[in-house]
Amino acid sequence: MKNTAIGAAALSLLLAACGADPAPGPTEQIVVREPGQAPKQAAAEPATDDAPAGDIIATGKEAFAVCSACHAVEADAPAGPGPTLYGVVGRKAASVDGFGFSEALKASGIVWNDAELDAYIADPAAKVPGTTMAAGAVGDAEQRKAIIAYLKTLAG
Amino acid sequence: MSEAAETEKPKKKGKWTRRAFIGAGVLAGGALVVGVAVRPGNPTDEMKKRLAKGEGEELINAWVKIAADNKVTAIVPHVEMGQGSQSTLAQMLADEMDADWEKVEMLESPATARYASGAIGREFLAPTLEVPKILEPTVEGSFLKIADMMDLQITGGSFSIRGTGQRDMRTAGAAARQMLIAAAAEEWGVPAEEITTARSMLSHKASGKSATYGEFAAAAAAQSLPVRPKRKAVGEFKLMGKPMPRKDIPSKVDGTAIFGIDAKVEGMKYAAVKAPPVVGSTVEKIDANAAKTMPGVLQILNMGDFVAVIADGYWQAQQALGKVQATYSKSEGQSLDQDAIFKRYSDALDEAGSDGGDTEISEGDAVEAFAGAAKKVTAEYKVPFLAHATMEPMNCTVSVKDGKCEVWIGTQAPLRIRRAVAESLGLGEDDVTLNNAFLGGGFGRRSEVDHAIMAARLAKAAGYPVKLIWSREEDTAQDFYRPSSTSRFEAGLDEKGRVVSWNNIHTHLFDPQEAPTVPYYAIPNQLVRKVDVPMHLRFGPWRSVDHSQQAWFIESFVDEVAEAAGKDPLVLRRELLEGSPRHLAVLNKAAKMAGWGSEMPGGHGRGIALVPSFGSIVAEVAEVDMTGEKPKVSKVFCCADVGFAMNPDAVKAQMESAIVYGMTAALYGEITIKDGAVQQSNFHDYQMLRMNEMPEVEVALINGDAERLGGAGEPGLPPVAPAVTNAIFAATGKRVRELPLSKMNWA
């Protein structure tokens, strides 16, 4: 009984799908340009920021792109895979409200200063075994230094 | 000798009968085609052209190709989405034909109806139909037809190994071997019975003659077809049942594996799309002024049912799409909120009462038995909508040119995609060529066709090849969701604590249903009903389909019944499974692995669940630690009886991955609706199980019936949620009646 019913339902679906008209084209189509055609405005903008070369904060901000996949930098940003890093320097570890920190980080007793941040960013799992920060280790010491310099700017 | 055979026109010795479809295959024009070639007018020559391309290659049959260099190619009609069945199918074929595993390669069959699978049609349409042997050919033939009509060259339903493998690959392998032997016997002038085969070699001991399969490939194709080739008994298996390394793994490790999203087509441009947040709405107006000046932008389109931007690069398309302002039409669904959905469910269930709704199972009189029961147990459970969250987001690349179309995609349903694209473009199906790549996760989501139709329409409108990639946000908000559901139970116990009645009603949104119609506990009076609740959202199969909800309902309630009866949950299950030895063996094994009954520290608990699904039986025991802020699943012990594990390593991997996927859903999975739209958008609000939350998993396999295989991709999933929540009860005394666990306050 039951099987017949299921079969019939499946077949009726099938029949309904038969003989469909082609799907509609666009109701509005704005062609900005054809492929290969040069853009009207020069698209070649300088790749770098207008910050002077050697500016450690600008370097840090650029290097932070990797971190930004998980971390926001605004004070009231919603939590992503990682907590917001607004005001992180000088803060106690695992102290952002509303983020589900690992037990390990909560128990770490760390207060984020240059040295602690440097060690953590270098290898999170080695610094705090059990942390949920599984990605984002930065091997390059210069880059870490720049990132930390940038993090310091993230405060009111 | 292969040279001589090449010039010789293959003779047509085989004769097709209905019966031969079941047996092995067809011989026509030198090609042997298995199963689906039974229909009259099947263009086997075209098949031969498409599959046997190399110099000196001869197509032995649709499932196996033997080249002159002795390389064996298993042509498998199922896709690779992480589950590894292509490799296991090749293993089954290679074993039956005594091929050298080192020389076996795999090729996914092209998307043509010749590979449509009758077995899956039968599975969906009449899974429990018992067919007398004599009628089998006819019945299979008719299911084949239905499968063909429904475009079922599908990978799903945990069916590849137990259906295609057991029925087609093994038969094809055995037939190929038999034909190679016949060809050698003819050439050498010795009796076929005296020829032995091993590692892709034919040998005749008495005369000392030997040759490779490759040398006889062409001659074998001219041999008549064995109607019922003899397949190996379990004791003769050389590759089947062995943990062979999967052939797809190296390419996934070294990065050379090609997924749908890797498609590269000359001149292609990238499209990003956004559909109205509420399903059923249309795009009324777009303001593209800001988007027009964005870098890389080629076109901005209002397609009516979605907005698209085509650009030189994907990121450019996505960025510009974010600047397009769109207004959407009002639609029926937009007033619906999450609470109202569950209110609809409870209203529908209230109205059905104790005996209303559509009856799925009725044995004895559950209502009367409940009325007279010494003890009564009732409970209500709720589960949420779930998204598939495949790692690779939906994508499809399409080129439309001169009335022909080519599609690059990773799909579970190549034929369905081909037909959908053809229809959406107003082309014939033969004008559409489909190239299927690996799937970065399927879970049922990739059996749908929506994204391919979008890509086809965009490519047609643009006039050049378009690669459409959905953003993660689009992927999360425009899924075909696993339905949410509410389920109510009533059970009666007699004075001795025996279960005398079982009455269940649950809401129902999406076909097909299997779980509630498979009662596995022996209870004298059973009534199982469903009540349909229409909704504007789109629903689809989600790994283990309705077992994902029903198993949690049933296995939670059995635990509650055990508690009411004053019995250990394992003991009650054993009583209810007395007449089912395979189920019992699986249950007992899982309990033994976990050391069921042994002491646990305070705040820790153990829970058990057993679920038969997709022809397999799986029991799992979960251990939880409730001493922290939220539940921590520390261990899962799993015992599975899939009939016969063709590749035990692959089966174990499937159990493990199903446990991860099931735990993700149990702990975090929840799609909610506000004003008719999905509220979640990405992994921050639709969380996956994390590495540090992964329990230790131990899997044991039982080969309970080598003749009737079960599936492996899905059956590991259903037991994990109830095992975890039953463990939470054991640890805390708190009964979980709503998922996910992240909703509950554990303080």
**pLDDT tens digit sequence for B378-423:** 999 999 999 999 999 999 999 999 999 999 999 988 888 998 999 9
Query: pLDDT at residue B138 above 50?
Result: no
Instruction: Determine the pLDDT at residue B46.
Output: 44
Task: Give the other-Cβ count within 10 Å of B697's Cβ.
Answer: 20
State how far residue A1 is from chain B, nearest Cα, in angstroms.
Answer: 9
Contact A26 B269 (CB under 8 A): no
Q: Are A121 and A144 in contact (CB under 8 A)?
A: yes
Mean pLDDT lowest for which of B130-134, B262-266, B492-496, B685-689? B130-134
Question: Can you tell me which residue has the tokens 């903008």?
Answer: A45
State how far residue A147 is from chain B, nearest Cα, in angstroms.
Answer: 24
List pLDDT tens digits, range B525-572.
999 999 999 888 999 999 998 999 999 999 999 999 999 999 999 999
Three-state SS across B375-438? EEEEEEEEECEECCCCCCCCEEEEEEECCEEEEEECCCCHHHHHHHHHHHHCCCHHHEEEEECE
Mutating which of B692, B693, B742 best tests the A interface, going by the most A Cβ atoms within 10 A?
B692
> Mean pLDDT, to the nearest integer, of B621-630?
95
- Determine contact: B122 vs chain A, CB below 8 A: no
Work out how many CB contacts closer than 8 A connect A with B. 100
Contact A2 B360 (CB under 8 A): yes
Query: pLDDT at residue A3 above 50?
Result: no
Query: pLDDT at residue B1 above 60?
Result: no
Q: Which residues 31-90 in chain A show a CB within 8 A of chain B?
A: 31-35, 39, 41, 43, 45, 78-81
Percent of chain A surpassing pLDDT 70:
77
Q: Are B13 and B222 in contact (CB under 8 A)?
A: yes
Q: Which residues 109-128 in chain A show a CB within 8 A of chain B?
A: none
Residues forming beta bridges with residue B407, ordered by sequence position: B398, B434
> Mean pLDDT, to the nearest integer, of B352-372?
95
Instruction: Determine the pLDDT at residue B126.
Output: 41
Cα distances (Å, whole numbers) of residue B295 to A77, B290, B322, B698: 28, 11, 13, 52
Query: pLDDT at residue B622 above 80?
Result: yes
Give the contacts of B428 (CB within 8 A, at least 6 positions apart): B422
- Determine contact: B453 vs chain A, CB below 8 A: yes
**Residue in B with minimal Cα distance to A10:** B125
Q: Are B509 and B483 in contact (CB under 8 A)?
A: yes
Any alpha helices (H) in B595-670, and if so which ranges? 648-667
Element (H, E) at B85: helix B85-96
For residue B517, name the pLDDT band (cuts at 50, 70, 90): low
Closest partner CB to A29 (pick from B267, B299, B423): B299
List pLDDT tens digits, range B157-172.
777 787 777 777 887 7
**Residue in A with minimal Cα distance to B122:** A7
Q: Which residues 457-476 in chain B show a CB within 8 A of chain A?
A: 457, 460-461, 464
Instruction: Determine the pLDDT at residue B440.
Output: 95
Please report residues of A whose CB lies closer than 8 A to that of B125: 3, 6-7, 10
State how far residue B2 is from chain A, nearest Cα, in angstroms.
Answer: 47
Q: Which residues 369-398 in chain B show a CB within 8 A of chain A?
A: none
Query: pLDDT at residue B669 above 70?
Result: yes
Please report residues of A whose CB lies closer than 8 A to that of B312: 35
Higher pLDDT, B128 or A103: A103
Residue A69: domain span? 56-152
For residue A119, name the pLDDT band (cuts at 50, 70, 90): very high
CATH assignment of the domain containing A100: 1.10.760.10
Query: pLDDT at residue B135 above 50?
Result: no
Pick the CATH number of B260-331+394-469 from 1.10.3720.10, 2.40.240.20, 3.40.228.10, 3.30.365.10: 3.30.365.10
Query: pLDDT at residue B48 above 80?
Result: no
Closest partner CB to A81 (pick from B127, B292, B684): B684
Instruction: Determine the pLDDT at residue B512.
Output: 62
CATH level 2 (architecture), domain B338-385+481-743: 2-Layer Sandwich (3.30)
Mean pLDDT lowest for which of A127-131, B30-34, B474-478, B615-619? B30-34
Contact A3 B426 (CB under 8 A): no
What CA–CA distance (Å, rounded) separates B727 from B730? Answer: 5
Number of domains present in the structure of chain A: 1
Contact A33 B298 (CB under 8 A): yes
Instruction: Determine the pLDDT at residue B152.
Output: 54
Mean pLDDT lowest for which of A5-9, A141-145, B412-416? A5-9
pTM over 0.95: no
Q: What CATH class does B2-242 carry? A: alpha beta
Please report residues of A whose CB lies closer than 8 A to that of B460: 25
What CA–CA distance (Å, rounded) separates B639 from B586? Answer: 6
Question: Can you tell me which residue has the tokens 């009540």?
Answer: B531
Asked, for residue A141, whether it belongs to a domain, the answer is yes
Instruction: Determine the pLDDT at residue A16.
Output: 34
Reference B401, options B340, B454, B489, B462; nearest CA is B462
Asked, for residue A13, whether it belongs to a domain, the answer is no
Instruction: Determine the pLDDT at residue B530.
Output: 94
**Residue in A with minimal Cα distance to B425:** A22
Instruction: Determine the pLDDT at residue B175.
Output: 81
Mean pLDDT lowest for which of A78-87, B41-50, B116-125, B316-325? B41-50
Mean pLDDT lowest for which of A47-61, A108-122, B434-448? A47-61
**Residue in B with minimal Cα distance to A132:** B692
Return mean pLDDT, chain B. Answer: 85
Percent of chain B surpassing pLDDT 70:
84
Asked, for residue A137, whether it belongs to a domain, the answer is yes
Q: Are B379 and B489 in contact (CB under 8 A)?
A: yes
Query: pLDDT at residue A5 above 60?
Result: no
State how far residue B126 is from chain A, nearest Cα, in angstroms.
Answer: 5
Q: Which ranges in chain B are annotated with CATH 3.30.365.10?
A: 2-242, 260-331+394-469, 338-385+481-743
> Mean pLDDT, to the nearest integer, of B199-221?
90
Query: pLDDT at residue B38 above 50?
Result: no
First to last CA, chain B: 79
Instruction: Determine the pLDDT at residue A20.
Output: 56
Query: pLDDT at residue B707 above 70?
Result: yes
> Mean pLDDT, to the nearest integer, of A9-35?
67
Higher pLDDT, B339 or B148: B339
Higher pLDDT, B737 or B136: B737
Any alpha helices (H) in B150-204, and if so which ranges? 170-188
Closest partner CB to A102 (pick from B457, B513, B692): B692
What CA–CA distance (Å, rounded) separates B361 from B519? Answer: 8
**Residue in B with minimal Cα distance to A37:** B298
Mean pLDDT lowest for which of A3-7, A150-154, B186-190, B555-559? A3-7
- Determine contact: B303 vs chain A, CB below 8 A: yes
Query: pLDDT at residue A11 above 50?
Result: no
Reference B92, options B223, B231, B198; nearest CA is B231
Cα distances (Å, whole numbers) of residue B87 to A67, A81, B229: 39, 36, 23
Exposed (0-12), middle (13-18) or buried (19+): which is B338, by Cβ within 10 Å?
A: middle
Reference B217, options B372, B336, B58; nearest CA is B58
> Mean pLDDT, to the nearest integer, of A146-152?
93
Query: pLDDT at residue B377 above 60?
Result: yes
List pLDDT tens digits, range B462-482.
999 999 999 999 999 999 999
What CA–CA distance (Å, rounded) separates A64 from A136? Answer: 10
Instruction: Determine the pLDDT at residue B563.
Output: 97
Contact A22 B424 (CB under 8 A): yes
Contact B425 A23 (CB under 8 A): yes
What CA–CA distance (Å, rounded) separates A44 from A52? Answer: 20
Please report residues of B whose CB lies closer than 8 A to that of A28: 286, 301-302
Q: Which residues 621-640 in chain B show a CB within 8 A of chain A?
A: 628-629
State how far residue A52 is from chain B, nearest Cα, in angstroms.
Answer: 25
> Mean pLDDT, to the nearest integer, of B73-102?
87
Q: Which residues 482-521 in chain B show a CB within 8 A of chain A?
A: 511-513, 517
Mean pLDDT lowest for which of A78-82, B88-92, B673-677, B702-706? A78-82
Mean pLDDT lowest for which of B51-65, B79-93, B234-248? B51-65
> Mean pLDDT, to the nearest integer, of B676-692?
95
- Determine contact: B292 vs chain A, CB below 8 A: yes
Contact B512 A10 (CB under 8 A): yes
Mean pLDDT lowest for which of B75-89, B180-194, B463-477? B75-89
Find the angle CA(B230)-CA(B231)-CA(B232) to the nearest 5 degrees. 125
